[in-house]
């Protein structure tokens, strides 16, 4: 169900909060407004379009909420799509992608989003309880929100980096199939984050270079800061992808090592018992009296000789393998 | 067989549709026309060239219809090659590449294509039933068509992404040769899509920056939107290529894992039965009375000892392997 | 042996062909000339240098004919190195690299090449039999020649793409060592083509942007077309490299699959016969009367029990392997 | 505990050093100051902000000291984040990342850092004992410090390169699991260095292009030198990553080679003893008198024949394997 | 020991050569000088700095001679670092890196280098014996030297390419461990060449675009030629890296193929002898009279049947393997 809410900074300098669509309209002179629309439907978007004269393409984007980060400049407002991830649990299982569409006019900021965006909520609380942000301008309010959305990506990347380092060690020790599945899952997360956060950086770069009525020069300094954070995030994503390649290589070489180790054991077994099997088989032949051997070899001495061979052969084999450095 | 058809917006503001080559000519003042030529032959192209004075190189391109996406600027019209894919079934088996050549003049749009292009047909129906697109200008009509061509790529990429994720899981479970063939097939599709859709984006970027008689500033906003979609498509292609690398790595490591598992089983078998074979072989030797053993060992006790060895040895082997973490 | 030949378009509008070095000189006013020098030696190059006042560096380049594609601008002429491949047989065995050096002046085109270049010959025939190209200007004549050189690369790439797709299927079915050698050979061809055709594109881009006395604006449209073809060629080379990666991966995984299959067969054999060998070995021991067994086990029943074990064991093994999905 | 210290070049031309926060303030005319704050806390940073009117964002950065290298331009000062690595031991075990935040005004340089930075200490000593650096300007003092920070990366990269070359040889000889772990560890170091030193280069490029009141043209020559060092460092990192790929490939192929070698030994064993086992097993069958053989074969001759087979078979096998080039 | 030598073109138009530091000074009007300093020490560099007023940073660079290629512009001279490789033997074993530092003023060229640089020696001889180079200007003299340094890289790359092609064939035939070591060695060479020659290209690009007092427009044409050579070299390095990837893939797949082949042989052996061992073991059991068999089976017929099984089984196995395409 679409929900409108508004924070207004009136000429008296007091900040007030309203629910409902009533004040979801361009602000009169001397008034600055942040209008937030959650879970929009066709009707509520049409209301925005009619009151603010937004471009049909932008309104159509708001109806879908599966855009890429972008910045579009219209005659009297900017249209911004901002995206970021949060991750509910402590383990990076399922990333939630949050998308906020924002219209930044001279005295109004309109935000549209589908689900509840934690970063937007925290910005909302701050702006509702402190008049300074709205006094600085709606561009600064947008900065507060965008900065919170962007910064929510840092802990995810840190956790992925930590887990990758762990995975690499663990996999070198003892490669398990679920480790492999986990590596691929983390890669999917990184692919998704890069797909979203790399264009996000470009829009912040554009904002930090601007300096017109909608984004004051003072605020553009702040957007430069957000741009910087996004650069760090993108560098972290790349670094994480490198580490992920490490973990995968570690897995493959650990499996290959293990095959090697098993092969060595099999060969050792064969090297010991195949000759022995021949020896005892030889004396198991049904030649009467094993003709050709003098009598005494049928005596105890042969018996002990065979026993000796059965003990010496494996030892010689083991010594030779150790000499070759296999064990 | 070449087929001409024309939609005309006359000075009266009414939209009319005509079949045949008669009105396939530059429109008189106050009239806007969309002329569509399907399955062109040399004759019909010569007719266009003669009536519109198109450049021989552009006409030659239309004769072949295996160009790459491009935008060429002539004195009084733009020549545009637009390409997109559709995929008939629900499984991404064979991609169909559609190519539309368009001449965008001040009051005419000429489109040339070989087979039936679904996206063009839907645009045609909309323009034929609604006068607003042609009122906005032939550049907007071209936008409608190009946007539909571009958007037809989205479902293909989504289906590939879904299938890749499935393939990865399936392959980790149980690698099958046909999975490998499927991975390579999907990669071929992605290679083909990138080859076509990456230059397509460049032409849309050029259109979105223009603002002359042929592409009004108002329409260039719309081309920016198409450019944005193409950026998203290209990012999806890259992300899919990454996922495809995952699926391939998953296959290779699953095969390598399976070899490992089989090796372990083989080694286990050998570790159990090679020593046993030696033991029973030893007592199969034809020494009379196994001299050297005291009499009692020929009694039941030896017999039971051998039986015990035959039971204890495999158990010890299994225990040792489990200790080494192989099973 | 150096061979000069000249096509001349005189003021009378008639095209004439001459052999020999006589007319290998700057054309008088009203006359346009294409001078072609095959298999140059020091003497013939000095002749050109002296008559046309070409730069020593350009003449030095002509003496070696192993340059990279380039465009150099001198005061009164352009110096162009154009390269392309042809492939004699139907199978892509040995690529022939053709190199044409061209000096484009205001009313002369001088081409220098070592061996016979098929594309240049076809352009030569066309210009010799039709006065229109020379009437359009020597830049257009150069375009005709360069376009033919560039287009001769298309069939090679198409054949490589077809063969790669075939190779991939074939290799997945039955990996042969000669397939691997063939994959590497094709990669060498692609590496060589990219090395040559990627700088070639840059020179055409420069030509298509020019518009001075030597390259008329009308002709630069045509060079844009050649540039476009080279873009398509370079995209094809990249796509082919991707397909080649596929074929190589297919080979490696097919070999790895096959090792796996052989291992499974070996393990199956061992799993059936190692236990059987133990069973028959056990009863091959030379214990008198196998003491401990009651008399009846020495009767037929034991005999049949052993036979039964020898039949049931392999079946149980097979059933278990099938259950584990190995076969 | 936050520690302030100040170097001051007074109008008398004498350099003096002070401890404590007293002189941590903008310098009066004719005085140049380097103010260093180690281990900052909220209070000391607020002191700086209040006295110098630094931007809140910059002060917030100083509070965290986990920024990326950057250059921010404020109205009357530059804010610079400089990072570099040192490595305590002779083996590249654990890299220490040092981060220095610097405010470069017209007559003051303020540096803020958490731990002791060796490069900064050496610059501090030089500036405290020699008046020339401060005479040249605070930008030159910043150069001295930044240059030392950057140059401390060279020995690390040289040691990594040396170790990689060693590792590659060692791994080709005798692949050990700890080598693999070491390779991955070095890769993590390189990933981290690239993440930090690649943006560092960009800030130096910006400094070397500037020429305003804060960075004199004379000093920008020096920054060009630092930029150059950073380019060399970044090229070394890339080259090291290539070498690292070598070492990893060497490991994988050495393991694969070793598996191959073990397989050959196992096959050799089997090829020798399996036929022998058959031969002696054949004559171990309990046929009375091996009927069908003439009497004489039960004589010594058969016995010797079997012995001969047992000697000739392994020799033939060995000869055949050698012929096939396996050994 | 530092060695100075000078070539001077006096106002008389005669070229003279001097040894020693005496004329290592800025040239008087009408005189052009090439001053060469080999094996510089602190003293000789200070002499240059004092006489020519070179920048301390440039002099410091000369003291170390381990810079990267660069071009620095000072008020009245250019400072250039040029690097190239030579390779003493016919096999590419150890590359020698030569580094020449050059100061190009209006009428002087100062070169500084550590060891003897063959390319510089050949340029020196040419300039000492021919007055034309110095007449053209010191920039042209620098061109002669730099061109020789750059061109000395071509034969190395050609030899590497030839060797790589050979290695690839050889490795596919019969993979040897020393081939692998050689592949890695060549890769190290290529990594080093790219690290040096890629920035070298950038400095030549800068020179070819210049046109001031120190580099005349006429000479910049020549630097464009050197730039072109460096482009070709860099493309060759990239192509060689691709071929190197081929050789490495060839090695790995040849080893993997060989493992496969050995496995097949081992499986064949087992498939033949394991069933036979069972057969002869079965009849080696100590059942009295093999009860249950009719009397006649103990006769010659059974004996022959066993012999037949021992001959038919291996044949059937071989036929089946051939049918499966393993041999």
Rounded CA-CA distance E146/E205 in Å is 13
CA distance D186 to chain E (A): 17
Rounded CA-CA distance E194/E177 in Å is 26
pLDDT tier, C176 (very low <50, low <70, confident <90, very high otherwise): confident
pLDDT tier, C260 (very low <50, low <70, confident <90, very high otherwise): confident
Query: Which range, of B273-277, E200-204, E211-215, averages the lowest pLDDT?
Result: E211-215
Contact A277/D at CB under 8 A: yes
Helices (H), chain C: 42-52, 56-64, 118-129, 132-136, 138-151, 154-173, 177-209, 217-282, 300-323
CB pair distance less than 8 Å for D231 and E181: no
pLDDT tier, A142 (very low <50, low <70, confident <90, very high otherwise): very high
Rounded CA-CA distance E138/E221 in Å is 15
Segment D21-26 shows an average pLDDT of 86
CB pair distance less than 8 Å for C246 and B192: no
In this predicted structure, the answer to whether residue B291 has a pLDDT above a threshold of 60 is no
Q: Which residues of E touch C72 (CB under 8 A)?
A: 221, 224
Q: Which residues of B touch A286 (CB under 8 A)?
A: 286
Neighbours of chain C (3+ CB pairs under 8 A): B, E
Per-residue model confidence as pLDDT tens digits over C245-256: 889 988 988 888
Beta bridge partners of D139: none
Segment D95-123 shows an average pLDDT of 92
Contact C302/E at CB under 8 A: yes
Contact yes or no for B123/B103 (Cβ under 8 A): no
Q: Which residues of B touch C183 (CB under 8 A)?
A: none
Helix pair angle (C217-282, B217-282), 10° resolution: 20
- Residue D216, phi then psi, degrees to nearest 5: -70, 155
Q: Indicate the length of chain E as a whole number.
A: 327
Q: Which residues of D touch E290 (CB under 8 A)?
A: 286
Contact yes or no for E285/C227 (Cβ under 8 A): no
Neighbours of chain D (3+ CB pairs under 8 A): A, E
In this predicted structure, the answer to whether residue E247 has a pLDDT above a threshold of 80 is yes
- The pLDDT assigned to A212 comes to 59
- Residue B294, phi then psi, degrees to nearest 5: -65, 160
CA distance E281 to chain C (A): 6
pTM of the entire structure?
Answer: 0.83
Chain A residue at shortest CA distance from B282:
A280
- The pLDDT assigned to E94 comes to 85
Segment B197-217 shows an average pLDDT of 80
CA distance B56 to chain A (A): 37
Segment E212-224 shows an average pLDDT of 77
Contact E269/C at CB under 8 A: no
Helices (H), chain B: 42-52, 56-64, 118-129, 132-136, 138-151, 154-173, 177-209, 217-282, 300-323
Contact yes or no for E131/E209 (Cβ under 8 A): no
Contact D188/A at CB under 8 A: yes
Beta bridge partners of B73: B78
Share of chain D above pLDDT 90, in %: 35
Q: Which of C170, C151, C305 is nearest to C250 (CA)?
A: C170
Top mean-pLDDT range of A110-119, B204-213, D267-276: A110-119
Cβ-nearest to B184 among C168, C231, C264: C168
In this predicted structure, the answer to whether residue C290 has a pLDDT above a threshold of 60 is no
Per-residue model confidence as pLDDT tens digits over B117-155: 999 999 999 999 988 899 888 999 999 999 999 999 999
- The pLDDT assigned to E291 comes to 47
Rounded CA-CA distance A119/A226 in Å is 14
Between C73 and B85, the more confident residue is B85
Query: Which range, of A46-50, C74-78, E216-220, averages the lowest pLDDT?
Result: E216-220
Mutate to test the interface with E, among C73, C174, C262 (most CBs of E within 10 A): C262
Exposed e or buried b for every residue in E51-85, given b needs 16+ CB within 10 A? ebebbebbbebbeebebbbbbbeeeebbbbbbbbb
Query: Which range, of A50-59, C143-152, C302-311, averages the lowest pLDDT?
Result: C302-311
DSSP state of D289: T
CA distance E7 to chain D (A): 31
Rounded CA-CA distance B43/B37 in Å is 12
In this predicted structure, the answer to whether residue D293 has a pLDDT above a threshold of 60 is no
Between D175 and B297, the more confident residue is D175
Question: C-alpha distances in angstroms, A239 versus A165, A190, D61, E195?
Answer: 12, 10, 22, 22
Cβ-nearest to C228 among B68, B180, B248: B68
- Structure-derived torsion over alpha carbons of residues D283, D284, D287, D288, reported in degrees to the nearest 10: 90
Per-residue model confidence as pLDDT tens digits over D233-261: 999 999 999 889 888 988 988 888 888 88
Query: Which range, of A221-230, C249-258, D313-322, averages the lowest pLDDT?
Result: D313-322
- The pLDDT assigned to D291 comes to 47
CA distance B128 to chain C (A): 34
Q: Which of A82, A210, A196, A51 is nearest to A146 (CA)?
A: A82
Contact yes or no for E280/C281 (Cβ under 8 A): no
- The pLDDT assigned to D101 comes to 95
Contact yes or no for B78/B111 (Cβ under 8 A): no
Query: Which range, of A235-239, C222-226, D205-209, averages the lowest pLDDT?
Result: D205-209
Cβ-nearest to D260 among E258, E284, E290: E258
Cα separation of the two ends of chain D? 69
CA distance B27 to chain C (A): 26
CB pair distance less than 8 Å for A281 and D284: yes
Tell me the three-class secondary structure of chain E, residue by residue. Answer: CCEEEEEEECCCCCEEEEECCCCCCCCCCCCEEEEEEECCCHHHHHHHHHHHCCCHHHHHHHHHCCCCCEEEECCCCEEEEEEEEECCCCCCCCCEEEEEEEEECCCEEEEEECCCCHHHHHHHHHHHHCCHHHHHCHHHHHHHHHHHHHHCCHHHHHHHHHHHHHHHHHHHHCCCHHHHHHHHHHHHHHHHHHHHHHHHHHHHHHHHHCCCCCCCHHHHHHHHHHHHHHHHHHHHHHHHHHHHHHHHHHHHHHHHHHHHHHHHHHHHHHHHHHHHHHHHHHCCCCCCCCCCCCHHHHCHHHHHHHHHHHHHHHHHHHHHHHHCCCC
Per-residue model confidence as pLDDT tens digits over E3-51: 999 999 988 888 999 998 888 888 888 899 999 999 999 999 999 999 9
Neighbours of chain E (3+ CB pairs under 8 A): C, D
- The pLDDT assigned to B309 comes to 81
In this predicted structure, the answer to whether residue C291 has a pLDDT above a threshold of 50 is no
Contact C50/E at CB under 8 A: no
Contact yes or no for C37/C110 (Cβ under 8 A): yes
- The pLDDT assigned to A278 comes to 84
Share of chain A above pLDDT 90, in %: 35
Rounded CA-CA distance A311/A304 in Å is 11
DSSP D217-278: HHHHHHHHHHHHHHHHHHHHHHHHHHHHHHHHHHHHHHHHHHHHHHHHHHHHHHHHHHHHHH
Query: Which range, of B29-43, D205-219, E257-271, averages the lowest pLDDT?
Result: D205-219
Per-residue model confidence as pLDDT tens digits over C6-34: 999 988 888 999 998 888 888 888 899 99
CA distance A280 to chain D (A): 9
Contact E285/D at CB under 8 A: yes
CA distance B283 to chain A (A): 8
pLDDT tier, E93 (very low <50, low <70, confident <90, very high otherwise): confident
Q: Which residues of E touch C259 (CB under 8 A)?
A: 256, 259-260, 263
Segment A286-314 shows an average pLDDT of 65
Neighbours of chain A (3+ CB pairs under 8 A): B, D
Neighbours of chain B (3+ CB pairs under 8 A): A, C
- The pLDDT assigned to A297 comes to 53
Chain A residue at shortest CA distance from B223:
A57
Contact yes or no for D121/D229 (Cβ under 8 A): no
CB pair distance less than 8 Å for E221 and C298: no
- Structure-derived torsion over alpha carbons of residues A92, A96, A101, A107, reported in degrees to the nearest 10: -60
Contact B325/A at CB under 8 A: yes
Contact A3/B at CB under 8 A: no
Rounded CA-CA distance D300/D287 in Å is 18
Cβ-nearest to A177 among B172, B259, B266: B172
Beta bridge partners of E6: E18, E35
Rounded CA-CA distance D107/A132 in Å is 34
Contact A184/B at CB under 8 A: yes
Rounded CA-CA distance E174/E180 in Å is 12
- The pLDDT assigned to A213 comes to 57
Average pLDDT along chain A: 86
Q: Which residues of A touch B246 (CB under 8 A)?
A: 184, 187-188
CB pair distance less than 8 Å for B260 and A258: yes
CB pair distance less than 8 Å for B263 and C266: no
Question: Other CB atoms closer than 10 Å to residue D289's CB: what's the count?
Answer: 11
pLDDT tier, D274 (very low <50, low <70, confident <90, very high otherwise): confident
Mutate to test the interface with B, among A188, A199, A242, A270 (most CBs of B within 10 A): A188
User: What are the residues whose beta carbons fall under 8 Å from the beta carbon of A123, sequence distance 6 or more?
Assistant: A141, A144, A145, A148
Exposed e or buried b for every residue in E114-133, given b needs 16+ CB within 10 A? beebebbeebbeebbeebeb
Q: Which of A252, A189, E182 is nearest to D184 (CA)?
A: A252
- Residue C37, phi then psi, degrees to nearest 5: -120, 115
CA distance B287 to chain A (A): 7
User: What are the residues whose beta carbons fall under 8 Å from the beta carbon of B28, sequence distance 6 or more?
Assistant: none
Cβ-nearest to B262 among C239, C264, C278: C264
Per-residue model confidence as pLDDT tens digits over B220-265: 888 888 998 999 999 999 999 988 988 898 898 888 888 888 888 8
In this predicted structure, the answer to whether residue D38 has a pLDDT above a threshold of 90 is yes
CA distance A302 to chain D (A): 17
């Amino acid at each position: 169900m679409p929900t409108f809410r508004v924070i207004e900074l009136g000429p008296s300098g007091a900040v007030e909060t309203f629910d409902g669509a009533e004040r979801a309209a361009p602000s009169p002179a001397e008034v600055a407004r942040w209008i937030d629309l959650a879970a929009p439907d066709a009707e509520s978007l049409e209301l925005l379009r009619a009151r603010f004269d937004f471009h049909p393409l932008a309104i159509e984007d708001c109806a879908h909420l599966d855009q890429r980060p972008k910045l579009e400049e219209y005659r009297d407002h900017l249209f911004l799509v901002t995206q970021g991830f949060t991750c509910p649990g402590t383990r990076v299982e399922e990333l939630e992608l949050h998308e906020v569409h924002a219209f930044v006019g001279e005295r109004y900021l309109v935000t549209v989003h589908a689900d509840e965006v934690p970063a937007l909520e925290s910005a909302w609380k701050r702006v509702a309880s402190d008049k300074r942000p709205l006094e600085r301008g709606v561009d600064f309010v947008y900065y507060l929100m965008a900065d919170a959305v962007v910064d929510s990506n840092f802990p995810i990347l840190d956790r992925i980096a930590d887990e990758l380092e762990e995975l690499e060690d663990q996999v070198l020790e003892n490669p398990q199939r679920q480790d492999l599945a986990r590596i691929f899952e983390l890669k999917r997360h990184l692919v998704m984050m890069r797909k979203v956060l790399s264009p996000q950086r470009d829009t912040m770069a554009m904002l930090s270079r601007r300096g017109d009525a909608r984004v004051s020069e003072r605020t553009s300094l702040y957007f430069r800061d957000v741009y910087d954070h996004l650069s760090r995030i993108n560098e972290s994503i790349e670094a994480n992808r490198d580490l992920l390649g490490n973990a995968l290589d570690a897995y493959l070489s650990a499996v290959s090592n293990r095959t090697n180790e098993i092969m060595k054991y099999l060969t050792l077994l064969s090297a010991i018992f195949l000759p022995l099997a021949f020896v005892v088989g030889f004396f198991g032949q049904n030649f009467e009296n094993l003709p050709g051997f003098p009598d005494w070899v049928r005596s105890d001495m042969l018996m002990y000789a065979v026993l000796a061979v059965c003990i010496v052969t494996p030892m010689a084999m083991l010594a030779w393998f150790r000499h070759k450095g296999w064990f």
